[in-house]
Amino acid sequence: MLALGLGYVTQSGLRQLQRMIARLDAVLIARLGGSGATSDKEQRTMIGTLGQLKLSGSIVLRVEAPGEPPELLREASYNLFRSPFWAVPKQDFVELTSETNVTTTILMRGRNLDHNVTVSAFFPGGEGLLPLPMGAGRIEDLLTDVMETNRMGVVHIKNGPGFARFRAAYTKETSIDTDPSQDDLDIPHAERPALTKVISDLHITGKSPEQKVAAIAGFFYRNFTYSIWSGPGPRHPSGTPLARFLLQNKTGHCEYFATATTLLLRETGLPARYAVGYSVQEKKGNKWIVRERHAHAWCLVWYDNAWHDLDTTPPDWSRIENARASWWEHVADAWSRVWYEFSRWRWGTGDWKHYVLWLLVPLLGLTGWRLLYHKQWSRTKPRSTPLTTPPSQLGIDSEFYQVERLLRERGLERHDGETLARWLHRLGTERTLDFATLQPLLQLHYRLRFDPAGIQPEDRSLLKSGVAQWRAASPTDRSL
């Protein structure tokens, strides 16, 4: 009764604890799993902000792929720049319908999705943007009530799990983003003078889209450096931080490079968009991990009737960011691993947890039956023939032990673990002892020692007299 009562109280307490954790999910996941700072409507950049970027080494994503993973995982895209904000003027989401197995959602049909990647991510409150490679066409193993997308290629989920490990199948040939519009060529009036000067110096007017893209990428590669520090620097006549970056400072973080590249491409007549997400660059074992400091910005450019990723940030940016890793990052990684495994167990989609719960019911019933009935029956069951002597004490007064003692005194010791029968047989084989004489006495001794019913009085007399006769007939020297 006590065990069953404690089980019921514990179950009720666990339900209360689960409700408390559910209310705290957003806080816990934000602290222990991910930042969740990306918005599908608007993204504030650090362009023009003085100081040093401070992003932690917390692990926010875990990535698995059959070969090399995609270099970039995008969360959102924007096409309207009003420094320091990127935004989307019209944000019309379309809800996607899952397939018959519920956990598979098709983003693009009729495409050869020849690559796949598995991503593990936290979603505070069961809502967030999916980090996906360009060209994602199918999402698997993600159970959510609502999955929707917009014309900017953003995939948003609602009423989903707080943690998910999903697989994305993708192709490098196309994407779910809509074709460009006039918004993808918009340039703020204040930024145009600096952009016009750079394009004029590059002499790329009239060249092919591929040549324009290569020239702009080379411009940043040759003349610019990556920096996490944004100082005041000399003031440019145009007065914009982006102009100072392009014409004077020529150093900055990824938001400067992505924004400048997007607007320069537009200046050449190529539609472009600003993208944010994560760079996949750190391998751990046979998987990849993505930290908060791996958050990244790049641009999408339209040519050959498709959108293409274009990242002009200097390649050494990851080395500079990784050099800022704190000394206790390994400890934080170990805790992150524990939290990740717990989250996989908690938010797992299998039914095995329900089966385990039902298996506990018969186990509790069996325990209660043993407690209530079995032990009580054992206590009250009368004994028909109570033993006056415990079984382990039977035969300890056997006369045969006199034979053993006499042989031991004469130097014929038993080996460790050697039974009486094997010992006497060995002595008989070595012609040290007449085993045939002692064998009937040994059989009577074994019955006295191990038979719960014991032996009859006449048999006990035979054992006693036989031992006495053997002792009287035994020689007194050591050789017997």
* Tens of pLDDT, residues 111-152: 899 999 999 999 988 999 999 999 999 999 998 889 999 999
pLDDT band at 48 (very low <50, low <70, confident <90, very high): confident
Is the Cβ–Cβ distance between 183 and 79 less than 8 Å?
Answer: yes
pLDDT at 168: 97
Is the Cβ–Cβ distance between 76 and 39 less than 8 Å?
Answer: yes
Whether residue 456 has pLDDT greater than 60: yes
d(CA 345, CA 246): 49
pLDDT band at 396 (very low <50, low <70, confident <90, very high): confident
Is the Cβ–Cβ distance between 383 and 448 less than 8 Å?
Answer: no
pLDDT at 446: 84
Tell me if the bond preceding 84 is cis, omega within 30° of 0.
Answer: yes
Q: Which amino acid is at 29?
A: I
Q: Which position has the higher pLDDT, 215 or 443? A: 215
Span 197-209, mean pLDDT? 95
Distances (CA, A) of 33 to 40, 163, 339, 353: 20, 9, 8, 23
Q: What percent of the chain has pLDDT over 90?
A: 43
What does the pLDDT look like over 59-104, one tens digit per residue? Answer: 999 999 999 999 999 999 999 999 999 999 877 889 988 776 668 8
Tell me the pairing of strands 115-122 and 72-78.
Answer: unpaired
d(CA 259, CA 48): 12
pLDDT at 31: 39
pLDDT band at 165 (very low <50, low <70, confident <90, very high): very high
Q: Pick from 178-182, 330-334, 401-405, 476-480 the range whose average pLDDT is largest.
A: 178-182
Neighbour tally for 393: CB within 10 Å: 10
Region of 475 please: left (phi>0), alpha (psi -120 to 50) or beta: beta
pLDDT band at 242 (very low <50, low <70, confident <90, very high): very high
pLDDT band at 431 (very low <50, low <70, confident <90, very high): low
d(CA 165, CA 144): 12
Span 33-61, mean pLDDT? 77
pLDDT at 357: 57
Mean pLDDT, rounded, of the chain: 83
d(CA 54, CA 51): 9
Q: With residue 346 as reference, give the H or E element that holds it.
A: helix 329-346
- Residue 252, beta-bridge partner list: 226
Distances (CA, A) of 196 to 264, 326, 336, 416: 8, 42, 48, 100
Q: Which amino acid is at 446?
A: Y
What does the pLDDT look like over 273-307, one tens digit per residue? Answer: 999 999 999 998 889 999 999 999 999 999 999 99
Is the Cβ–Cβ distance between 162 and 29 less than 8 Å?
Answer: yes
pLDDT at 32: 41
pLDDT band at 262 (very low <50, low <70, confident <90, very high): very high
What does the pLDDT look like over 1-37, one tens digit per residue? Answer: 888 888 888 877 777 676 555 544 433 443 344 444 6
pLDDT band at 477 (very low <50, low <70, confident <90, very high): very low
Whether residue 166 has pLDDT greater than 80: yes
pLDDT band at 355 (very low <50, low <70, confident <90, very high): low
